[in-house]
Amino acid sequence: MTFVPANEGIAKLKPYQPGKPISELERELGITDIVKLASNENPLGCSAKVKEAVAAELAEIGRYPDGGGFILKDQIQAQFGVVHDRITLGNGSNDLLEIFARSFVSEKDSVVYSQHAFAVYGLVTQAINAQAIEVPAKGFSHDLDAMAAAVQANTKLIFIANPNNPTGTWFEEAEFDAFMQKIPSNVIVVLDEAYVEYFPENFNSLKFLDQYSNLIVSRTMSKCYGLAALRVGFALASVEVTDYLNRIRQPFNVNHLAMVAAVAALKDEAFIEQSRVVNKAGMAQLEAGVTALGLSFEPSRANFLLINVNADPAQTFAALLKEGVIVRHVGIANHLRVSIGTEAENEKFLAALAKVLGLEAKA
């Protein structure tokens, strides 16, 4: 092999494997009625108001977007009570996760995150060639005590997801507060709340922002808001932390149509409420269906369920693909992650699962 001088971190990097796109499976199978429950997207798509807002702005495509993101920051400020100077916009929250790591972590430093956490935490750490400290999970949940105890003198950043992807597990405010008390103020804690809109009554992260200047709350418009294709996320933090994040953020990382869509999506609370209702109903449907098949699942406060299929997950995933159902094999023995879909999608998944595992539903 010829010598290609990639930096050490990137030379060892295994890239993120996204959920299989519907179009790809359509080409492979030559069928069109495919159900994708693999990437935790909103099964309702996006709000009709988002489509109207984007359509009205198409003439602006020829111009650079507002690099400061004024309209979107204004909407975030109005809705969450966090001022412009404390907001960082991202091209999806994946972009932000990378910005966090690049802003605060160098090669000699370490990053703490949990086993069974979001795969991107390990990837952004590896890209810097920093040390990853992966703390064993407690069951499928973050072990916050063990994570606090794992912090070393060279630890610069901790990634935490609540609820966690791919397990759906969560922790309460008091547990998080106790955790934050133990973390030195020079260690950045990223609280990744990609699914917070689904069960908002359970955790108010924003009140911790004033208490802890080392806290970053990360949100995305890709899941409940239904804007996955447009790539918008935002981070809330202290003015000082936000200043660093914005130094390396690309000046036009969020495009104009995405910002317009995000504003419309944030304003349409009725759509979010409807998405919650559909999610709760779908979760109940999947839980009942899985239980009737004699299988178990991990209780979830997100829009997906980690199911113990009691079989090899790679083989089960492949067999489901042949039935036109795309789910996610997340590297956990015997388990598959299934996004909650519409009633019809969930039904198709349950029927396919029963078929490929040779199980029969008991009433």
Ligand X SMILES: *Cc1c(COP(=O)(O)O)cnc(C)c1O
Which stretches of the chain bind ligand X, using CB under 6 A? 40, 92-94, 118, 161, 165, 192, 194, 220, 222-223, 228, 233
Length of the chain: 363
State in angstroms the smallest separation of the CB of 120 from ligand X.
Answer: 7
Question: To 5 degrees, how large is the angle CA 305–CA 310–CA 311?
Answer: 110
Strand partners, 217: 191, 236
The values of phi and psi at residue 104, to 5°, are: -120, -10
Closer to ligand X by CB, 192 or 268: give it.
Answer: 192
State in angstroms the smallest separation of the CB of 179 from ligand X.
Answer: 18
Question: To 5 degrees, how large is the angle CA 130–CA 217–CA 148?
Answer: 55
Closer to ligand X by CB, 7 or 79: give it.
Answer: 79
State in angstroms the smallest separation of the CB of 92 from ligand X.
Answer: 3
- Residue 73 CB-half CA count within 13 A: 17
State how far the alpha carbon of 153 is from the alpha carbons of 76, 111, 115, 157, 226, in Å. 35, 11, 21, 11, 40
Greatest pairwise CA separation for the chain in angstroms: 62
Q: Which residue is nearest to ligand X (CB)?
A: 92
Closer to ligand X by CB, 54 or 161: give it.
Answer: 161
Closer to ligand X by CB, 98 or 345: give it.
Answer: 98
State in angstroms the smallest separation of the CB of 204 from ligand X.
Answer: 19
Q: Return the structure tokens found at 184.
A: 């030195």
How many Å apart are CA 218 and CA 89, to the nearest integer? 10
State in angstroms the smallest separation of the CB of 253 from ligand X.
Answer: 12
Closer to ligand X by CB, 180 or 232: give it.
Answer: 232
Burial class from Cβ neighbours inside 10 Å (0-12, 13-18, 19+) for residue 63 reads exposed
Sign, CA torsion 113/118/119/121: negative
Q: Give Cβ neighbours of residue 118 (< 8 Å, ≥ 6 apart).
A: 159, 161, 164, 165, 166, 192, 194
Question: Where do the H-state alpha helices sit in 15-118?
Answer: 22-29, 48-55, 70-80, 92-104
Q: Return the structure tokens found at 265.
A: 């999506």
Look at strands 155-161 and 110-114 and give their pairing.
parallel
State in angstroms the smallest separation of the CB of 117 from ligand X.
Answer: 8
State in angstroms the smallest separation of the CB of 281 from ligand X.
Answer: 21
State in angstroms the smallest separation of the CB of 256 from ligand X.
Answer: 18
Closer to ligand X by CB, 39 or 77: give it.
Answer: 39
Q: Return the structure tokens found at 34.
A: 């495919």
Closer to ligand X by CB, 113 or 271: give it.
Answer: 113
State in angstroms the smallest separation of the CB of 118 from ligand X.
Answer: 4
Closer to ligand X by CB, 93 or 114: give it.
Answer: 93
Q: Are 97 and 218 in contact (CB under 8 A)?
A: yes
Closer to ligand X by CB, 94 or 253: give it.
Answer: 94
